[in-house]
Structure 1
């Protein structure tokens, strides 16, 4: 057991005026639920010691967190299923101000209704000061790439477990840091714009965009507010980066999916020569158009950037056609397409997904593109 000093004061998160919350969540702070990957609390704090009280639960997939001090990751750990205190730092200079972030490292687990991560309180002998506001806000929307699946871990790893997800070794975090921007992530492994990798049309990001974290299932998540409508006026991004299409393309290569309730079969089809079926490509393009319209509805002033290509780019022609068609149909000029660097053998990570080097290259590409756009 770690010894603590007798000057520590326990404060519920709801009592801390200068607490900065990152990521979509509800107004509830007693406790605070972190739903999405990259969700976090941020603090400017003095004192020699700081602890956070966490509560975790899960049936299959446990949450992980990363702790950053002054912008540097210093700890990463599994959060086991219980309520307990975690020491963030101790023995530091009392009068020095430290920037601290406690970051959820794993995506919202739609396949595990029991998976939750909540923060209850902080314990410290310091003072909590205001967190500096960033000049930009960026929202990232995507799939396993944006969730950081495989961004950490050896290339040989194949197990689909939370250990191989990272919100930090991730182009979203890297881009935001390079841009000095506040950011949020909406992402889910295997999901797409129209359909998931296995042709399930229910597993698409656009259908759940209006909700706090509507892709989560189960009574517990509903009670926590996952299905509530998100308050878009509370946080308006300057840029929305959409990195979707990889799973839509993958659906052409996988078996059909049969709805267990209706019995209806869904399949993105290939022609005899191996090319994508024109009707199914057209359906994908319609889904892109509809999602852009929805994004513009809720983010009226944001630049919309469809950034794609980290695991190949077979859907790029269809994305270009869809974006061009949307712009001509609506007159919306604040929409564009950006091809991201493809992952190579050298930049591959775990689970045949982009590794940290691939994420870094993507972040550099996005930084150059967004800097010119926001200048």
Structure 2
């Protein structure tokens, strides 16, 4: 490898003009990147930049996207180990490059060994200040918000890290259109009450107050994933919740059974195919309670519950729950917005919304949020 003699190694903690994206513990030595869309941003004036990563996993490796001056220039799998990755080289020395190194893959609940850290950067220039954006938006969701299916051919069905994208994702597109900083809290298959397969423990609200509470295992505990999140340090202007798709799916999925305790759970259909009233009430109560929790954590945010990219079976019940929350609390900063459905033309891999579907959703959501902001 040709050595660039001008390059110096900068531990992240020593970089004054470093911007960290996503929910973290606040520790920079090293920085653990938990959620999709998380990572680092630098305004770098120099010709060559490398980043030192540390990665491990049992099944699901992390992927990163490199975005330079708002254009995605590369996307790659990070294999296990601690090593240097070249971000760019041979670029004009005196030009300032805005560089984002972004985790493309969601936090992996199903792989206790999976983690990604950034230790340092190696650079031959200087880091300049990064302008603060006027707005902050938090996106909460499931596989749609994790960008599952955005990458890959329509025929792909493997459940692997490769098909996830934080960049070609309605959340990132919306944030960019509104010139907002954003965070993503999401997990494929999860709901507001249960997962698609009726697991009552796989719901986002239960873990929302932790840094990355839906992770598992001793390694993630030692990295601080289960610590209380510091909400005061980052208060969003808008919280966008895109949950309900998997709760709807649970009604048509077999019951979930806990192999250890024998406990079972099932969202039931009536004989005529309609939703069981008691189970709908449980869903609506979960929506209501999550709104209460979101308001407690995000004091002044507008909360927008969005839904519809994979059908709208739960829409009437989301509306009903939100209406009763507004009536009972007097909280006027909460609303529901329907996103455009995915079609044959806009579907991606794994029968999930593709990039065209995400673009459509982002366009409509952006217009709606403009009215709020």
- TM-score band by shorter chain is over 0.9
Counterpart position of 2:322: 323
Match of 2:86 in 1: 87
TM-score (norm: length of structure 1) = 0.99
Q: Which residue of 1 aligns with 2:100?
A: 101
CA distance in 2, matches of 1:4, 1:34: 28
Query: Mapping of 1:247-286 within 5 angstroms?
Result: 247-286=246-285
Shift of 1:5: 1.2
- 2:359 paired residue number: 360
Q: Secondary structure at the match of 1:109?
A: coil
Alignment of 1:59-98 (within 5 A): 59-98=58-97
Q: Flag structure 2 segments of 5+ consecutive residues without an equivalent.
A: none
Structure 1 residue 260, shift from structure 2 partner: 2.2
Give the corresponding residue for 1:35.
Answer: 34
| Cα drift, residue 4 of structure 1 | 3.0
* Whole-Å separation in 2 of the counterparts to 1:304 and 1:116: 30
Structure-to-structure mapping, 1:180-199, within 5 angstroms: 180-199=179-198
Query: For 1:307 and 1:237, how far apart are their aligned partners in 2?
Result: 17
Aligned counterpart, 2:17: 18
Mapped pair 1:205 → 2:210:
no
Q: Which residue of 2 aligns with 1:347?
A: 346
Q: Structure 1 residue 261: deviation in Å?
A: 2.7
Matched, 1:371 2:370: yes
* 1:296-315 superposed Cα distances (whole Å, 9 cap, x missing partner): 00001000000000000100
Where 2:200 maps in the other structure, the secondary structure is coil
Deviations 1:168-195 (A, max 9, x none): 1100110011000000000000000000
* Counterpart for residue 169 of structure 1: 168
Query: 2:333 corresponds to which residue?
Result: 334
- Deviation by residue 1:302-332 (Cα, 9 ceiling, x = unmatched): 0000000000010000000000000001000
Structure-2 residue corresponding to 1:221: 220
Tell me by how many angstroms 1:145 deviates. 0.2
1:39-50 alignment, distance < 5 Å: 39-50=38-49
Give the 3-state SS of the residue equivalent to 1:253 in structure 2. coil
Q: RMSD in angstroms over aligned alpha carbons?
A: 0.6
Q: Does 1:117 align with 2:116?
A: yes
Write the distance in 2 (CA, Å) between the matches of 1:370 and 1:164. 28
Distance in structure 2 (CA, Å) of the matches to 1:151 and 1:273: 36
> Residue 155 of structure 2: SS of its match in structure 1?
coil
- Give 4+ residue runs of structure 1 displaced > 2 Å after superposition: none
* Cα separation, 2, equivalents of 1:119 and 1:311: 35
Q: Deviations over 1:234-290 (max 9, x none)?
A: 000000000000000000000001122321210000001101111000100000000
Given the two structures, how large is their TM-score scaled by the length of structure 2? 0.99
TM-superposed deviation, 1:229: 0.2
